[in-house]
Structure 1
């Protein structure tokens, strides 16, 4: 049975499954953190929320990409991926802190696409920094 799990296709499918679950869980956590309903806003065609959400999805996937490349055990990969995700959550709070003139959630729910784009870029760019620091 050990040989079965060491097969590269099975290993790849396993890592893929773990990251998909991690993305779903991270979106649920982000849903709790934000003041708007992500999927309701996206259903209404709110591009700003879609951009912000897309950045979060990309950011989490990118962090796990680095974690997979740098770690040779699934447990280490998962640990570093979760740690990177926690750091990515701080991006949300940092963005809110750096914009005292407006509330990010309110602007996103009003479909302020400029705020959505900056949110996307912050999540993606900082996911590269977080990922590069994973050992």
Structure 2
């Protein structure tokens, strides 16, 4: 296949997977609306969402490196989104002293940075496992 066309297809798939992932994350957060918070300048939520975007793209990158088909990349991308959601839920469960969602809503940048780091860390582990 023409490398320019293939690059465009991977680009389009990445956009689609990220958008679907962000819609699912928006449904996961009940105490605020991600894009409203970002529009209002909430850096903590922006860090959290940014980590998810970069995390999904890292998984897609490793998938493109190690797979032969576009469909495999879509499947790995979807799997990466699911694991990012699981990581976010676990992060919230393991922080017993406070709610991650409430802290992000209250603009706690420290929690946003940890959320960003969790997303990137999960993506690196998932990506490295793709063969």
Same fold (TM over 0.5): yes
Aligned mate of 1:101, from 97, 102, 108? 97
Question: How far is the alpha carbon of 1:77 from its aligned partner?
Answer: 1.5
Report the CA distance between 1:47 and its aligned residue: 0.5
CA RMSD in angstroms comes to 0.8
User: Which of the pair has more CA radius of gyration?
Assistant: 1
Q: CA deviation at 1:131?
A: 0.6
Query: How far apart are residue 98 of structure 1 and its match?
Result: 1.0
| Other-structure match for 2:75 | 79
Rounded Cα–Cα distance in structure 1 between residues aligned with 2:20 and 2:76: 15
Give 1:120's aligned residue. Answer: 116
Extract structure 1 runs of 4+ deviating beyond 3 A. none
Q: Deviations over 1:57-100 (max 9, x none)?
A: 00001110011111011111211221122111111011011101
Q: How many residues align?
A: 130
Gaps of 5+ in 1: 1-5
Is 1:15 equivalent to 2:10 in the alignment?
yes
Give the structure-2-normalised TM-score.
Answer: 0.96
Q: Distance in 1 between matches of 2:27 and 2:108?
A: 21
